[in-house]
Structure 1
Amino acid sequence: MEGNRTLDPKTLDDIIRRIVEVAQPQKIILFGSAARGEMGPHSDVDLLIIKAGADALDLMGQIYRNLHGVGAAVDAIVVTPEDVERYKDSHALVIKPALREGKVVYEAA
């Protein structure tokens, strides 16, 4: 049985670079098992991508196309700053745990 593994920093850097290329987000937050250093053999990389004025479905499609071949399973969730403000206290959505336990891995200057 495999123990916990961590996300290779080079892989994370490549994922971030590829997302920024197509999305130009304000912020990217790594959360879930990768942020906690508790990745298992079937874990993915959970990312909350914050982008003003985003058409989430269209942007997620562009992101996933650009992540092809990155070497890791990525779960990218695109939200607007307004979504974050509106749903930051909702237990039913991923925004609250991402903000609580997540690590900012990219922030626009």
Structure 2
Amino acid sequence: MTIQISSSLEQLVNRLVNRLKPTAIYLFGSQARGDAAEDSDYDLLVILPDTSLPRHERESKAYDALWGLSAPADVIVLTATEFKESQQVATSLASTVLREGALLYG
């Protein structure tokens, strides 16, 4: 899927890449589908190399990386293994993102 990357989205991705060193970042939800309202946020799925860091701590680091940016974002952070395992379930977030989302990085 091809999307127009705004400067706000580019800033979000750059911050996440610089701070978290992900293997991939996907945009999903209304922004990826092209039916976003003016006040819609960016839904981002960040894939990290495998780590023992709990998911809530990974997501806390992601939100810390975005501190001070004006673009609203919801960020979900999975490890590569979590992402791969989740793809096996057709109704999982990972499967939905692969079907309907857009790869922004990786």
**How does the TM-score come out when normalised to structure 1?**
0.81
Query: Cα gap change, 1:7/1:61 in structure 2, threshold over 3 Å: closer, same or farther?
Result: farther
The answer to whether the aligner puts 1:16 opposite 2:21 as a matched pair is no
Q: Does the Cα contact within 8 Å between 1:7 and 1:39 map onto a contact in 2?
A: no
- Which residue of structure 1 aligns with residue 63 of structure 2? 64
Q: Distance in 1 between matches of 2:32 and 2:11?
A: 16
- Which residue of structure 2 aligns with residue 26 of structure 1? 23
Gap regions ≥5 residues in structure 2:
none
Opposite residue 89 of structure 1, the aligned amino acid is Q
The answer to whether the aligner puts 1:97 opposite 2:96 as a matched pair is yes
Gap regions ≥5 residues in structure 1:
1-5
Count of residues in correspondence between the two structures: 102
Q: Distance in 2 between matches of 1:19 and 1:94?
A: 20
Following superposition, which runs of at least 4 residues in structure 1 exceed 6 angstroms of deviation? none
Q: Does the Cα contact within 8 Å between 2:25 and 2:104 map onto a contact in 1?
A: yes
The answer to whether the aligner puts 1:36 opposite 2:33 as a matched pair is yes
**How does the TM-score come out when normalised to structure 2?**
0.84
Q: Does the Cα contact within 8 Å between 1:84 and 1:95 map onto a contact in 2?
A: yes
The answer to whether the aligner puts 1:48 opposite 2:45 as a matched pair is yes
Among the aligned pairs, what percent are the same residue? 30
